[in-house]
Structure 1
């Protein structure tokens, strides 16, 4: 697969030397890979956890027909450009003598109707009831709380709060996908403080552009035990080299605010990128990763999403896990559960469905979170 697409060797350092051990991976190659993605793709965030970060929580018992406790958390922070709030919604199973619970955190890119805190409007995009019924806490945040999904010159959201540049914004400055990933990490800061949550068993998940953000958050932040990417396509789970459907140029032209300015220099020349998305997946190792595709989602290119997973397998093997091995591309509704790695192809179009969620939780049940 690596040779066929001309991919960068995930186990060969920038100096050309082969990575032979987990220690070399952790001390040399993984930091190199993250630095390359910051420089050329997602951008370099100016701050990690703000010193000003606080949490304000409202708790409501007896939700979901008495099966859950609802927590509405305002994650607050401030910087040179003002103050911001990310709203985290959380339903925790309420069972006598059980807990703390593993959790799924969804980076929601579909607006507030999909995450109704009253649950008068249920959506398969975030089936909180089913997640709780299977023994997981269901957490969600709206990514636009961190940064609006518009090309505004990165003046609003967390960019406006924390960026302070003299003159032109740097070509490697963080962009919108990086801001959303930053929000996921701040949600994890809260989840670590919640006694009802097992912070060592938290999955970050996202669909489409949210899936791009979940992968970047999970690659950066080793506190996430499982990283789930649903139909994230270009600059998400799918390889850029040899990709069908949406290309680097197509995504940069349509969504210029998602990635940093350096990334635009690779429009039409993916082969010149010093990275490809198998390296992002590999940066999650040895933690668990799950990628999902839909057979009619040609824009995302399921074959390229699956190829990226297989191309990351050598890093999982370095850590003692076989990943998905050399399993062939599966038929629809034939999920694959390997060692710390899973995949399914669903019949249908670009969406996040109840079927997808059931497979994510099957994978978690098989050992990723339990």
Structure 2
């Protein structure tokens, strides 16, 4: 029997133990778990809303008949944005008190209703468990790495299980609790610690004995190569060959600056598809039934999961829980902005290339459109009510993004006065025009008035979003708590980390102490 076969047998054995446990749940005691395709779920929501026909989203193919618009002269069909600092009853907001007590709550309620949905009151609690603790050396930095799992209480509906997966990495070469940047992504151990040389000898001796037991003919091979060991150590860090600080990965830059980081898996909270809306945390709360129009979508569910991750970080004495940030790119950039807007315990956000549904104005018609998000591919990010704004025929008539009572400048404003860094790349490197970088800049400009009202700085221009033009690439607009920077890379925020970290550290008043 070959070595790979032995590994396969061992892996199958482990998998069998993990999955072959008998079910003791009497499903007849609970509402039947609905299983929809994304199309069926989408159709169900259209029926609930009385929608007969939605407009198709624009094509990214410039030669297609319904190609996306990239002409700025027609990109603003309704240029007048809802006034952030005017209440619904027409009263001007001139003090921080009126913002916090009246305007912000009504904006948050409308954004929940029309865009992202609201978190139900009966969301069950999450119990966090540290599964693995490992000590590693990541580049130049010694660190402690923890794999933690947040089990959502599913006693009320045990047919759905939700376990939030997160990896936490904290530097051990600094004094006192450290700031942490939580990032949406796939968690993994950065550089697993390895057994000592003496321990490796024991492992190899046992492994050789096991292999010979399965296949006695292997004894001849091992005797022929007596110094050979099947299990070898991974190459450790070479301090003389490590790249310069400015060329380190974003996570290594964080650790070098005395920050920790956490990576949280969005899909362990809620699936990134419409078929999953009767599963995950949304399905668990709804007991396996389809959403209602006001119910939360995946973006808000991911934000809820990030907040539960922060609950865990608040229990870790190595973490400064008052200095925890949230980061994401693309759809996770949308989620990071939603998280920062609604979860006020987060102190800072790095919002990467978020596009429509994120920092870009909804009512803009440039590249990605509202109709791009109301189709079956991405509607699950948003509340069901969002479909109304892609409607061509319905019981309530026709609606477009211009009919929205709220827009993304107000979402950004909900982050004030906390640190908010809006990041984009350039189309030439893959951060497509589809994302409408200019539309995000307009929203950032307009949101600045709230930052100023609350006594902090914005990006340093007027708040006239129709007059102010997006600055050249690589322009640093980092003097305030609201920041903007367009790097010269692609669909990533990695090139902006070397600007984000010192910017955030300055405003958080954090100095790495050896």
- Using the size of structure 1 for normalisation, the TM-score is 0.90
Of the candidates 112, 128, 131, which is equivalent to residue 54 of structure 1?
128
The answer to whether the Cα contact below 8 Å between 1:174 and 1:259 also exists between their aligned partners in 2 is yes
Q: Which one of the candidate residues 431, 437, 442 is aligned to 1:302?
A: 437
Q: Does 1:26 align with 2:26?
A: no
Distance (whole Å) between structure 2 residues aligned to residue 351 and residue 67 of structure 1:
27
Provide the residue aligned with 2:91 in structure 1: 17
CA change 1:369–1:74 in 2 (3 A) is farther
Tell whether the 8 Å contact from 1:340 to 1:368 is kept in structure 2 after alignment: no
Judge conservation of contact 2:129–2:148 (CA < 8 Å) in 1: yes
Alignment gaps of 5+ in structure 1? none
The match for 1:356 among 491, 496, 503 is 496
Give how far 1:100 is off. 0.3
What is the SS of the residue equivalent to 1:152? helix
* CA distance in 2 between partners of 1:236 and 1:335 (Å): 21
Task: After TM superposition, give the deviation of residue 369 of structure 1 in Å.
Answer: 6.0
Question: Given the superposition, is the C-alpha separation of residues 260 and 126 from structure 1 closer, same or farther in structure 2, using an over 3 Å criterion?
Answer: farther
Any idea what SS the aligned residue of 1:160 has? helix
Verify: 1:319 aligned to 2:454, yes or no: yes
Matched residue, 1:127: 250
Q: 2:147 aligns with which of 72, 82, 89?
A: 72
More strand per residue: 1
For 1:69-123, what per-residue CA distance to the aligned partner results, in whole angstroms no more than 9, with x for missing partners?
Answer: 1111111211333332111111101115x12000110011xx45xx444379xxx
Hey, what's the Cα distance between the residues in 2 that align with 1:92 and 1:173? 36
Deviation at 1:356, TM superposition (A): 2.2
> In the aligned structure 2, how far is the partner of 1:196 from the partner of 1:48?
31
SS of 2:381's partner is: coil
Match of 1:256 in 2: 379
Q: Separation in 2 of the partners of 1:175 and 1:126?
A: 32
Residues 243 and 301 of structure 1 are in contact (CA less than 8 Å); yes or no, is this contact kept in structure 2?
no
1:101 aligns with one of 175, 178, 196: 178
Distance 1:322 1:130, change over 3 A: closer
Number of aligned positions between the proteins = 361
Residue 422 (structure 2) pairs with residue 291 (structure 1): yes
Q: 1:7 aligns with which of 67, 81, 86?
A: 81
Q: Which runs of 4+ in 1 moved over 6 A?
A: none
Kindly provide the CA deviation profile for residues 186-215 of structure 1, in whole angstroms up to 9, marking residues without a partner as x: 111111111000001111111110011111
**Which whole-Å CA distance do the structure 1 matches of 2:405 and 2:509 have between them?**
33
More off after superposition, 273-282 vs 328-337: 328-337
- Provide the rounded CA distance (Å) in 1 between the counterparts of 2:348 and 2:505: 12
Structure 2 length normalisation: TM-score? 0.66
Distance 2:126 2:322 in 1: 24
Cα-Cα RMSD: 2.5
After superposition, residues 134-283 of structure 1 pair within 5 angstroms as: 134-152=257-275, 154-164=277-287, 169-253=291-375, 254-267=377-390, 269-283=400-414
Evaluate the alpha carbon distance shift between residue 4 and residue 359 of structure 1 in structure 2; reply closer, same or farther with a 3 A threshold: farther
Q: 3-state DSSP class of the match of 1:5?
A: coil
Pair 1:305–1:126, CA change in 2 (3 A): farther
Q: Say yes or no: does 1:81 pair with 2:212.
A: no
What residue in structure 2 maps to residue 343 of structure 1? 484
Larger Rg: 2
The alpha-carbon distance between structure 1 residues 49 and 288, as it changes in their structure 2 partners (threshold 3 A), is farther
> RCO higher in 1 or 2 (8 Å CA, sep ≥ 6)?
2
The alignment status of 1:333 with 2:333, answered yes or no, reads no
Structure 2 gaps of 5+ residues are: 1-75, 193-233, 235-246, 391-398, 463-468
Structure-2 change in CA distance of 1:87 and 1:36 (3 Å):
same
2:486 and 2:309 mapped to 1: Cα distance? 29
Is the 8 Å Cα contact of residues 245 and 298 (structure 1) preserved in structure 2?
yes
Q: Tell me: CA distance 1:153–1:140, structure 2 relative to 1, closer, same or farther (3 Å).
A: closer
1:53–1:75 contact (8 Å) kept in structure 2: yes
